[in-house]
Each structure stands twice: as C-alpha cells, then as structure tokens.
Structure 1
Amino acid sequence: MIRRYEIFADYHQFYLWDHARQPSSALDYTDEDVRRRIKASLFIVVVQPERNMTVPVEVEIASRAPDLALDAWDHVAEASLELPSGRLEIHECTGGSIDILPVAPGCHRVRLHCAGLGTLSEDGLDGDDRYRLVIWPAPFAEIAVLKQYRGRDGG
C-alpha cells in the first residue's frame, strides 16, 4: 500500500505513532537528532523535513524490508516504531491527524528517504524537497543513518 500526502511540517516535524497510544513528542532535541532527521521514542517516530512548510510525503506499508537504493536520495535513516494496536497514525505537529493506516501489530522499522534537500530558496519557504517513508514489520533496532546529507556546501 502506497499513499501520498501533503503534510504541514510546522517546526520542521511531523509524527508517526500508534493510534491507540497517541504519545507526546519529546521536546529535547540534540544536534545529533537534527542531523539524523529522525527521532524515536516509545510508540512514536518524529520525522524532520528540511522545510517548515507543507511538504510532499509518500508512505509505503511493506511486508518486508525494501531494497537499499541510496543513489536517488540525499539522506536515508531508519528508526523502530512499536505499533501494538496495528493502527499507524500520521499526525502533523500543530495540525491534526492526516491518516490512520492498518499495519500488522508489533514492532516495525521506518526508513526515511529525503530528496531535494539542496533546492530550498534562501528564505527556506520554497523548494523541491520530498520525503518517502517505508514501514515494515521488523525487530527493534537503534536509529541508523544509512546516508548522511552534508548540506549544500558539503558540510
């Protein structure tokens, strides 16, 4: 199942969480959390887009891990997400619920793909950045950055 959304990423974030738990996001962010563009806590994954605006997001619910194809993406990272209810909710930071998707109950892996990160305008409001999330059942694992975006200047 693949779904496409336009999500308002206020404060450079939106959430994936277990619909039955509706956890609150951790407010303390480290430089490493920002660099990874993904943060995870119990029953929640925080996705951190480049723009503080509405961004295009594609979500795929898969039955197994997708092939690892890094070339088309600026940044790729993974985190684990417990979904005991079998209902994944996509939620804006200051808005409301975007969608609730059925998944197998249990632990899942979320792979975040980011592209177009270097296309933002000087004011950061416009750009061709886009995001893809693939979610599949998997045992718990720590956050992993599979490809790190270094910025327009390579730093």
Structure 2
Amino acid sequence: MDEDSQDDFSVIWTEDALSRMLAVGHSAICPGTLRNIDVSVEVEVLDQSPEIDLSAWDNAVEASINIPSGKLVVMGCTGYLPDAPRISVKPGTFQLLSVAGGIDTIQSEWEPAEDLYRVYLWPGTAREPRLIKRWQREAT
C-alpha cells in the first residue's frame, strides 16, 4: 500500500476480492492468504512486465496500484504501520501480478506448509483486477 493510502480495507475486501484472493483499492492491495498466521510473502519491483510461468503457481491475479508517495509499505493485517518496512519506488501507477503457490501443502492452518505469496510490480497504467488463474480445492 502507498504510505499515505486512505483505502478502507473493510470496504475493499468484497466477495469478488475474496474469490480472486486479492483486495484492490486505489492505493492499496491486499493479497489473500489461506492461513491466518505469518506466511511467506515476497514483493518484486521490476522495470517492466515480467514473463511468469503460471503453471508454477496455483492462483494468479493482475491489477494495479497507485503509489503517489513513492513509498510502498509492506505489512500484514496485524502489522503496525509506523514499523512496517517500506520500499522506495518512483511515484506513480504500477501494474501488478499477485500469485500464490504451494497451496496444496497446507494441511491445517497451524502446521508448517510451503505456501508462498508473491507480488510483482512494474510501472504501467491503471487496470481493473482480473483473475487469470483460480485455485480450487481438490474434491475429496
């Protein structure tokens, strides 16, 4: 999220956002995770759109975020904004790809698993969120 974001997370977590595993505001995004504990999240800021092999990922969503302050804050839902790490970027709009993988390694919320969440960001124009690949639990 932008350091000065005023997006209300209680508003951007819509049914659509839950379905695609990504909440999107004007200057904030929030990748959904499948466990309510600390999980691995990586953020990569790039110069241009990446070539990503989506077969390596379980879920993928594209969207955009506005970062007018030039400070991208990375934090979880229980994080404390003043202490959250920041990534300096050129102020402006960024396109993004949010991916999740290793989901099938989750046995329960509290047991160790290999789920990973990654967000790729690069300069670009604003675009509506679009689900590219949807993870679905295998029938048991």
Does the TM-score normalized on the shorter chain lie above 0.5? yes
Deviation at 1:125, TM superposition (A): 2.0
SS of the equivalent of 2:64 reads strand
2:76 and 2:52 map into 1 onto residues whose CA distance is 27
1:135 and 1:51 map into 2 onto residues whose CA distance is 24
User: RMSD of the alignment, in Å?
Assistant: 1.8
> Of 91, 96, 101, which aligns to 2:75?
91
How many aligned positions are there?
137
| 1:49-94 C-alpha deviation (Å, 9 max, x unpaired) | 1111110111111010101311100011112100011110112212
Cα contact 1:39–1:79 (8 A) shared by 2: no
Deviation at 1:32, TM superposition (A): 2.3
> Of 73, 96, 101, which aligns to 1:115?
101
Cα contact 1:72–1:115 (8 A) shared by 2: yes
Cα contact 1:81–1:110 (8 A) shared by 2: yes
Matched, 1:104 2:104: no
Q: What amino acid is aligned across from residue 105 of structure 1 in structure 2?
A: P
Query: Which structure: greater strand fraction?
Result: 1
Residue of structure 2 in register with 1:143 after alignment:
129
Q: What amino acid is aligned across from residue 99 of structure 1 in structure 2?
A: P
Residue of structure 1 in register with 2:21 after alignment:
37
Cα contact 1:26–1:41 (8 A) shared by 2: no
Percent identity between matched residues is: 28
The normalised TM-score by structure 2 is 0.88
The normalised TM-score by structure 1 is 0.80
Query: Which structure: greater helix fraction?
Result: 2
Q: What amino acid is aligned across from residue 137 of structure 1 in structure 2?
A: P
Matched, 1:132 2:118: yes
Larger mean CA deviation between 17-26 and 74-83 belongs to 17-26
Structure 1 unaligned residues grouped into runs of 5+: 1-16
Cα contact 2:12–2:23 (8 A) shared by 1: no
2:49 and 2:65 map into 1 onto residues whose CA distance is 14
